[in-house]
Amino acid sequence: MALLALRGVAKAYDAERRLLDHVDLVVRDDDRIGLIGPNGSGKSTLLGMLLGEVVPDEGERVVRRGLRVGHLEQEPRFAGDLSVREIVRGGLAGRDALLADIERVHRDLASPDLEADDLEALLRRQDRLQTRLDELGGHDVEHLVEATIDGVGLADPEALCGTLSGGEARRAALARLLLSEPDLFLLDEPTNHLDAFVIAWLEDHLAKLAAPLVLVTHDRYLLDRTVDRIVEIDRGKLHEYDGGYASYLEQRTQRLAAEAEHERVRLSFLRREVEWVRRSPMARTGKSKSRLQRFDEAQNAVPTRLEADLDLVIPKGPRLGTKVVKISGVSHAYEGRTVLPRIDLELTGGMRLGVVGPNGAGKSTLLRILLGELAPTTGTVDVGETVRFAAIDQRRSDLDPTKTVTQEIAGSSDRVQVAGRTVHVASFLDGFLFPGARKNTLVAKLSGGEKGRVLLAKLLLEGGNVLVLDEPTNDLDLGTLRALEEALAAFEGAAVVVSHDRWFLDRVATHVLHLDGEGGARLHTGDVSSLLEMMEAEREERAAARAPRASAKDPASPPAASAPRTKAKDEGRTRLSNWEAKEL
């Protein structure tokens, strides 16, 4: 059954480009939709139309009566004197009133003057109220509140919202929304400000949700695990694909190939018809009117230009010597609190180190120490003589908002040096998808994805042989993410990358440094998925080890059954791990 529908909706913010061109979208009660497209293609606009906050220029929004829609805001606002626990518990809206209704029914049922007809009506009402209470978590919901707060990675449930960062406030909003269990979820980039391990928890949570959802995200694992239909916005039109992200890639390739074949046939037809039109000296009126009409239609059916993909190649930079970077006993403390635990590691040529962990675990601190911007409290950083760093800062502090894109890249010059070659800045920026007048746009007016492309362009111009990248994937669309992945995988130098995008790190990283935020640091050879698998196996082993001890304390309890299952699982494991497969 349809919950929500957009019919023939169109939207344009300027005369040059129509963002959405008379599109239809139906959300049914069993739909799990992933909404994707390049930055600026209209994803947030379409989501706003579904929510009813954006009014289309044409078309209509049709919604089922009484539909409860849950929406995750990009920048939630909370009263500063409310605690995280109070905000999250607010997701169980109406629960207090429901408990009061149940208490009144109980009082009425206990009345000695109760009539038989009234008794039956009260019992029916009690049954309805109890069913609704069960849907909201039952009488005791504190365990649900605690589990959800912990799941989204908020350490202190009693922290006041006035003290939270923007990312922490968004986590609180996500927890509240998950507890509210609306009829339909509309989620706009729910993984922003979440680390890889919290995102893995969110994947599990959303995969188990029974409610329908529309999800805007660049997280490809999240798409693969949680959606069964992908809707792509491409040149103002919607294209639907069954399945997750992997299936979408195959189907999209087939669609673009079919479009290319259709265009080839159209051009071939035009060439034949041009010859026919020119062959005879007769006037146009003497020729077949229907054939001339087909010719005019084919001539006017010029396809919309396909959005270009970023073609990114990172120059290898100066020759990198045998000695790159050696970190010995490095840690950092601030105002008596340990921000970065003790770390010992050696970065070698060709090594791509992914750094993961919860917010506040010290990831950015490590990068600043590596670049020499911050002195460690203990330990030393030994940098090789041939090392030349090139960096991207997650705060985008390297960008001057008062400059245009061209000025930010080339200053007052009209040429730039790329890998020893002199290139005109206009051609260089065309390759980073800044066409025409867009090159003269102020940095302050760029979208997050466009700012990310400017940073990537500056990275190429730096020509470093050791890349230090702090959240380089923030705000990048899927096409740019793929281009960056391929460029980093082909890069001949070394790289240290902090990212919350597990798919990205799985494709790029040869090693992963996990900072757990509790004073622990672990270097893993492989990618993030294999690290998660290993940590889950270790957790199960610890749980299995605790089970026999619990049985020994309680002789009446049945023997633990986990050990045989673990053994059988280990004996049956013949599949290579992700890292083993990559190494092979």
pLDDT in the model for residue 328: 94
Alpha helix stretches (DSSP H) within 209-311: 220-226, 245-279, 289-300
pLDDT in the model for residue 15: 63
* Structure-token match 């004073």, residue found: 519
Distant-in-sequence contacts of 62-66, Cβ < 8 A, 24+ apart:
62/2, 62/4, 62/5, 62/6, 62/7, 63/3, 63/4, 63/5, 64/1, 64/2, 64/3, 64/4
pLDDT in the model for residue 91: 78
* Structure-token match 């003057």, residue found: 113
pLDDT in the model for residue 101: 76
Q: Give DSSP secondary structure letters for 460-505.
A: HHH--SEEEEESTTTT--HHHHHHHHHHHHH-SSEEEEE-S-HHHH
Task: Say how far residue 252 (Cα) sits from the centre of its chain.
Answer: 20
How many CA atoms lie within 13 Å of 34's alpha carbon, on the beta-carbon side? 27
pLDDT in the model for residue 554: 57
Two structure tokens written together for 82: 């409310």
pLDDT in the model for residue 567: 39
pLDDT in the model for residue 571: 42
Sign of the CA dihedral with 186 first, then 188, 193, and 197 last: positive
From CA 133, how far away is CA 514, in angstroms rounded? 41
Contacts of 223 (CB under 8 A, 6+ apart): 34, 36, 215, 217, 230, 244, 245, 248
pLDDT in the model for residue 85: 84
Could you tell me if 575 and 583 are in contact, meaning their C-beta atoms sit under 8 angstroms apart? Answer: no
pLDDT in tens, the chain (584 residues): 688 999 999 998 776 667 898 999 999 988 999 999 888 788 889 999 999 999 999 999 999 988 889 888 777 788 888 888 888 887 776 666 667 777 787 887 888 777 777 787 888 888 877 777 666 656 566 777 888 888 888 888 888 888 877 778 888 888 888 888 888 999 988 887 777 788 888 888 888 888 899 999 888 889 988 999 999 998 889 999 999 888 888 898 888 888 778 777 767 766 776 666 666 655 445 556 665 566 566 555 555 544 556 778 888 888 888 899 999 999 999 888 888 999 999 999 999 999 998 877 899 899 999 999 999 999 999 999 999 998 887 767 678 889 998 988 888 888 888 767 888 888 888 888 787 888 888 888 887 778 888 888 888 888 889 999 988 888 788 888 888 888 888 888 999 999 988 899 999 999 999 998 888 899 999 988 899 888 888 888 888 887 766 555 555 544 444 334 333 334 444 556 655 666 66
From CA 216, how far away is CA 219, in angstroms rounded? 9
From CA 46, how far away is CA 38, in angstroms rounded? 13
Contacts of 32 (CB under 8 A, 6+ apart): 212, 213, 215, 226, 227, 228, 229
Contacts of 476 (CB under 8 A, 6+ apart): 39, 218, 449, 452, 453, 484
Burial of residue 426, with CB atoms counted within 10 A of its CB: 0-12 exposed, 13-18 middle, 19 or more buried: middle
Could you tell me if 488 and 459 are in contact, meaning their C-beta atoms sit under 8 angstroms apart? Answer: no
Sign of the CA dihedral with 495 first, then 500, 505, and 509 last: positive
Which among 73, 23, 13, 16 has a CA at the least distance from the CA of 46?
23
Q: Give DSSP secondary structure letters for 410-434.
A: HTT-SEEEETTEEEEHHHHHHTTT-
Query: Helix 196-208 to helix 166-180 angle, to the nearest 10 degrees?
Result: 20
The 3-state secondary structure of 510-540 reads: CEEEEECCCCCEEEEECCHHHHHHHHHHHHH
The amino acid at residue 554 is D
Could you tell me if 442 and 467 are in contact, meaning their C-beta atoms sit under 8 angstroms apart? Answer: no
* Structure-token match 């260089």, residue found: 428
Could you tell me if 203 and 225 are in contact, meaning their C-beta atoms sit under 8 angstroms apart? Answer: yes
Q: Give DSSP secondary structure letters for 19-82.
A: EEEEEEEEEETT-EEEEE-STTSSHHHHHHHHHTSS--SEEEEEE-TT--EEEE-SS----TTS
From CA 18, how far away is CA 514, in angstroms rounded? 45
From CA 524, how far away is CA 128, in angstroms rounded? 53
Task: Say how far residue 231 (Cα) sits from the centre of its chain.
Answer: 16
